[in-house]
Amino acid sequence: MNVLVLNCGSSSVKYQLIEADTQKWLAKGGIERIGMSGATLKNIRHDGDEITIAGEIVDHIVAIEYILAVLLSRNHGVINDKSDIHAIGHRVVHGGETFSSSVLITDEVIKSIRENFEIAPLHNPHNLRGINACQVNLPGTPQVAVFDTAFHQQMPRKAFLYGLPYSLYSQYKIRRYGFHGASHRYVSERVAMLMNTELKQLKLITCHLGNGCSMAAINDGISVDTTMGFTPLEGLLMGTRSGDIDPSIILYIMGKEGITLAEANTLLNKHSGLQGISGVSSDMREIVQEMKNGDKKAKYAFDVFCYRIKKYIGSYAAAMGGLDAVVFTGGIGENSVDVRKDCCDGMAYFGIRIDDAVNESKEKEKLISTADSKTKVFVIPTNEELVIAVDTKTIVQTKQ
Ligand code: ADP
């Protein structure tokens, strides 16, 4: 079954066409700058053929038209007919408390995704635009929603409730949701395979470190706690997001500088994190480079980033009453030798010992802890698209 996997943002669409039975991708790419001048589509075919097309891509409907055109094209395509796309799998950010697993998209599901606009205004509207664009371009093709929040829906109440009046939870559903669910799920399943152990018998901490960063404590295959909260702002330091702060700080700054709610939102989401502390960049590669060149603020940013991960490793091991393995994934987790080393440094009392040579080796998927390390440490490239493709196939086949 060929599944078109889509991740629709406000001005971008990322896609992969995956042959779900063999788990191989046929083509992948992305569109940037939808609705702006200079919009482009970049497509990579499984055999390495690459093409970039510029065009007037005014909205998500046109974006899907462009994707279909390249997938069908004689010179760069991989399919002969639209009907060769058997199903579509969408990454949908917020499933609220309604969805604890992936679902076939129906009118009812669309209504629920819309109901969650209020708690996910930056993501759900664009995800839904992608769903509507597929209804227009590929009418009748089954569509499945895979939610970022679903994997964390079994978290116990003591982990998801905030110390706020309970009525705010009952009335507005203010609670911890957690995100990056497909990634935490993928790497936890993969690490169980690599350890040759049932996922249900493992206590894991998964660290998804990309532009957005989150960690999850996974006990018996269930996410029992995670660092992102009501929104993806909480927890770890990120590229441009603050992660954990004392909430009073924002009230204090609003009083001092008279900033508006929208400006406060931008401050926390766009001008903080690695970028905010360093003043150099939100990109970990540049932070490490500048730190090594002696830039003090880049070093502060790097230290805060790693310290917070280390702190959460300790607290999640305490929460689960033990720890079998830590997994690093995402652009930083998969590639930054320095971040992995710093996060695991001085953790021998915790049973964590890193083998520096393996940590520095070029292999993508690897065990980087030493043979005598009680807690194993892995690097596993994430594959959220594959999770979406496999869920989509399973759901569509059971409904047929
Ligand atoms: P997104 O969350 O947008 O999917 P990614 O998972 O691709 O992002 O991660 C982006 C981050 O990964 C950036 O901070 C980038 O600097 C970092 N990164 C990518 N390659 C390396 C590398 N070789 N060393 C350190 N950081 C890296």
Question: Rounded to the nearest whole angstrom, what is the distance from the C-alpha of residue 253 to the centroid of ligand 1?
Answer: 31
Q: In this predicted structure, what is the pLDDT of residue 118?
A: 86
Question: Rounded to the nearest whole angstrom, what is the distance from the C-alpha of residue 330 to the centroid of ligand 1?
Answer: 7
Of all protein residues, the one whose alpha carbon is nearest to atom 22 of ligand 1 is 335
Ligand 1 atom nearest to 339, measured from its CA: 25
Is 55:39 a contact under the CB 8 Å cutoff?
A: yes
Question: Which of 284, 306, 359 has the most ligand 1 atoms within 8 A of CB, as the residue to mutate?
Answer: 284
Q: In what order do the strands lie in the sheet with 50-54?
A: 50-54, 40-45, 24-32, 13-19, 2-8, 87-92, 143-147, 103-104
pLDDT of 183 > 80? The answer is: yes
Is 191:325 a contact under the CB 8 Å cutoff?
A: yes
Identical fold, 2-147 and 195-384? yes
Q: Which of 148, 225, 295, 391 is catalytic?
A: 148
Question: Rounded to the nearest whole angstrom, what is the distance from the C-alpha of residue 60 to the centroid of ligand 1?
Answer: 26
Q: DSSP alpha helices (H): ranges in the chain? A: 60-72, 107-115, 124-137, 157-160, 166-172, 181-194, 247-257, 261-270, 273-278, 284-292, 296-320, 330-335, 337-344, 356-360, 384-399
Average pLDDT of 188-211? 98
Is 131:90 a contact under the CB 8 Å cutoff?
A: yes
Strand 213-219 versus strand 203-209 pairing type: antiparallel
Q: In this predicted structure, what is the pLDDT of residue 119?
A: 84
Which CATH fold would you assign to the domain 195-384? Nucleotidyltransferase; domain 5 (3.30.420)
Is 356 considered catalytic here? no
All structural domains of the chain with their residue ranges = 2-147, 195-384
As a whole number of angstroms, the distance between CA 238 and CA 248 comes to: 20
Residues with CB under 6 A from ligand 1: 210-212, 239, 283-285, 330-332, 335-336
Ligand 1 atom nearest to 282, measured from its CA: 14
Length of the chain: 400
Q: Which of 309, 28, 20 is nearest to 146 (CA)?
A: 20
Ligand 1 atom nearest to 239, measured from its CA: 14
User: Three-class SS of residue 290?
Assistant: helix
What's the pLDDT tens digit per position in 17-42? 999 999 999 999 999 999 999 999 99
Tokens found for residue 374: 């009680």
What's the pLDDT tens digit per position in 117-170? 888 888 899 999 999 999 999 999 999 999 999 999 999 999 999 999 999 999
The position carrying tokens 């970990």 is 284
Tokens found for residue 217: 């404590």
Question: Which of 12, 238, 283, 342 has the most ligand 1 atoms within 8 A of CB, as the residue to mutate?
Answer: 283
Ligand 1 atom nearest to 286, measured from its CA: 16
Ligand 1 atom nearest to 211, measured from its CA: 2
Is 23:392 a contact under the CB 8 Å cutoff?
A: no
Is 137:68 a contact under the CB 8 Å cutoff?
A: yes
Is 176:230 a contact under the CB 8 Å cutoff?
A: yes
How many CB atoms lie under 10 A from the CB of residue 393? 22
What's the pLDDT tens digit per position in 321-356? 999 999 999 999 999 999 999 999 999 998 999 999
Question: Rounded to the nearest whole angstrom, what is the distance from the C-alpha of residue 210 to the centroid of ligand 1?
Answer: 5
Question: Which of 291, 336, 341, 363 has the most ligand 1 atoms within 8 A of CB, as the residue to mutate?
Answer: 336
Is 21:29 a contact under the CB 8 Å cutoff?
A: no
140: exposed, middle or buried (C-beta count within 10 Å: 0-12, 13-18, 19+)?
exposed
Task: Identify the band that residue 214 occupies on the pLDDT scale cut at 50, 70 and 90.
Answer: very high
Of all protein residues, the one whose alpha carbon is nearest to atom 24 of ligand 1 is 336
What's the pLDDT tens digit per position in 238-278? 999 999 999 999 999 999 999 999 999 999 999 999 999 99
Ligand 1 atom nearest to 287, measured from its CA: 16
pLDDT of 302 > 90? The answer is: yes
Question: Rounded to the nearest whole angstrom, what is the distance from the C-alpha of residue 141 to the centroid of ligand 1?
Answer: 34
Q: In this predicted structure, what is the pLDDT of residue 30?
A: 97
CATH number listed for the domain at residues 2-147: 3.30.420.40
User: Three-class SS of residue 245?
Assistant: coil
Of all protein residues, the one whose alpha carbon is nearest to atom 19 of ligand 1 is 331
Q: In this predicted structure, what is the pLDDT of residue 350?
A: 86
Q: In this predicted structure, what is the pLDDT of residue 379?
A: 98
Of all protein residues, the one whose alpha carbon is nearest to atom 23 of ligand 1 is 335
Q: How far is CA 282 from the centre of its chain?
A: 17
Cβ contacts of 284 within 8 Å, gap of 6 or more:
239, 274, 305, 331, 332, 336, 339
Q: In this predicted structure, what is the pLDDT of residue 120?
A: 83
Average pLDDT of 289-312? 98
User: Three-class SS of residue 44?
Assistant: strand
Of all protein residues, the one whose alpha carbon is nearest to atom 13 of ligand 1 is 283
As a whole number of angstroms, the distance between CA 94 and CA 108 comes to: 15
Average pLDDT of 3-11? 95
pLDDT of 187 > 80? The answer is: yes
Question: Rounded to the nearest whole angstrom, what is the distance from the C-alpha of residue 335 to the centroid of ligand 1?
Answer: 7
What's the pLDDT tens digit per position in 43-97? 999 999 999 999 999 999 999 999 999 999 999 999 999 999 999 999 999 999 9
Three-class secondary structure assignment of 223-244? EEEECCCCCCCCCCCCCCCCCC
What's the pLDDT tens digit per position in 312-321? 999 999 999 9
Question: Rounded to the nearest whole angstrom, what is the distance from the C-alpha of residue 393 to the centroid of ligand 1?
Answer: 29
Is 316:286 a contact under the CB 8 Å cutoff?
A: no
How many CB atoms lie under 10 A from the CB of residue 294? 8
Asked whether the CA dihedral 239, 241, 242, 244 is positive or negative, the reply is negative
Question: Rounded to the nearest whole angstrom, what is the distance from the C-alpha of residue 331 to the centroid of ligand 1?
Answer: 3
pLDDT of 292 > 90? The answer is: yes
